[in-house]
Amino acid sequence: MRGGIWVVLHLDAKKRGSGEQQLVALAQRLQREGIPLTMVFAAEPAPYPGRELRAAGVDVRWVDYAHPAHALARLARWFAAERPSLTHFHFIDPYSPYVSAAKLAGAQVLVHDHLCPAATPGFRGARKRARSVALNSSVDVRVAVSRVVAEAVAQAYAVAPERVAIMENGIDLTRFRGVGGETVRRELEVADAPLIVCVSRLDDEKGGETLLRAVPRFARGAHLAFAGEGPRLADWKDLVVRLGVADRVHFLGLRNDVEQLIAAATVVVVPSEYEEAFGQVVVEGMASGRTVVVTRSGAMPDLLGEAGIVVPKKNPEAIAAAVNRLVEDPELAARLGRLGRERAARRFGMDGYVERMVALYRHVLDARRRAA
């Protein structure tokens, strides 16, 4: 390969999350094959994953996407000078100048769709589709994180279905095995009380307010541990005071011990109110053997299957009823937890994810060689 593979991400990699672990596992796999790999982030990565990526031979770089003209100039200069064989974009608009710059430099281009696009109605939607048709040739393959996203991409952007590859996220299953939640329970001082866990951004589309409004209905004085950062933190702290449950809601901020936090849970709740493209915490909860409650949002019901409970969006009563059912019936919770663990191992392991991604890279590069 001329310049090897480049992975370009509009991502500030600042925690030990499953997404960062995917990048490390992919880098280690490509290193074993002697394939040069460059990763470009939105800022210098934190010690994890930065240290592990460099140990795997990755050329780690970063650009400031807050200044698009500067970022474009730098990326275009790098692409022209080093001519990657394949460039894989994450969290970047498929029709951005960054993508065009890679294509102009001769790279095969993949764009990873981590969000579920919505079809736009009327004249604006027609104009959007026309723009997509004109620019779709800049991307060789769109990579969707779920079947729901693949279908939405094909519809919203007029992308031929055969040019969309489904690549469900993988997680390091070993990270969630044999982990106890005692440390977290001591930290929160909840003893043996039921603990409901939510790991999410603190904003409206993730459904946090609906979950908080369910807390007064939780049985047996259950506590809620809410991990994550976001713009609604101050408002929601005021809300739980007004609801009279401030002593049972724990806002934990950004955590690097999600596996311990989930292990401490009686139930994991993912209350999203927009169309969730994937739902990483759904899989992490299943891998931990915890029962998961999700809203009928995007890909999440398909990820969960029969291993948990699906409730309507924006419905605190339904969330509370599902949580209470599981709290009051530990045998049901344990059975669903076992089903979830089996499902996660069968479908979402990291090794399988990496092998599928490497196979896709090979397929795209082989297609290029056949066409040459």
Which residues have CB under 8 Å from 324's CB, separation 6+?
Answer: 217, 218, 219
Question: At CB < 8 A and 24+ separation, what contacts does 42-47 make?
Answer: 42/9, 42/10, 42/11, 42/12, 43/12, 43/13, 43/14, 45/13, 45/14, 45/20, 46/13, 46/14, 46/15
DSSP state of 299: T
Q: Which residues pair with 292 in a beta bridge?
A: 268, 308
pLDDT of residue 368: 73
DSSP state of 176: G
pLDDT of residue 372: 61
CB atoms within 10 A of CB 4: 17
pLDDT of residue 2: 52
pLDDT of residue 41: 98
What are the tokens at 126? Answer: 């027609």
All domains in the chain, ordered by first residue: 5-171+349-371 (3.40.50.2000), 173-347 (3.40.50.2000)
Per-residue pLDDT of the chain (372 residues), as tens digits, is 457 999 999 999 988 888 999 999 999 999 999 999 999 999 999 999 999 999 999 999 999 999 999 999 999 999 999 999 999 999 999 999 999 999 999 999 999 999 998 877 777 777 777 777 777 889 999 999 999 999 999 988 999 999 999 999 999 999 999 999 999 999 999 999 999 999 999 999 999 999 999 999 999 999 999 999 999 999 999 999 999 999 999 999 999 899 999 999 999 999 999 999 999 999 999 999 999 999 999 999 999 999 999 999 999 999 999 999 999 999 999 999 999 999 999 999 999 999 999 999 999 999 877 766
The pLDDT tens digits for 209-236 are 999 999 999 999 999 999 999 999 999 9
Kindly report whether the global pTM for this prediction surpasses the value 0.85. yes
Closest alpha carbon to 25 in 148, 221, 170, 137: 170
End-to-end CA gap in the chain: 14
The pLDDT tens digits for 335-363 are 999 999 999 999 999 999 999 999 999 99
CA 201/CA 210 separation, integer angstroms: 14
Reduced to 3 states, what is the DSSP secondary structure of residue 39?
A: strand
The type of residue at 362 is R
DSSP 110-133: EEEE-S---PPPHHHHHHHHHHHH
pLDDT of residue 128: 72
The pLDDT tens digits for 105-144 are 999 999 999 999 887 777 777 777 777 777 788 999 999 9
Largest CA distance in the chain: 68
CA 151/CA 10 separation, integer angstroms: 24
Q: Which residues pair with 225 in a beta bridge?
A: 197, 250
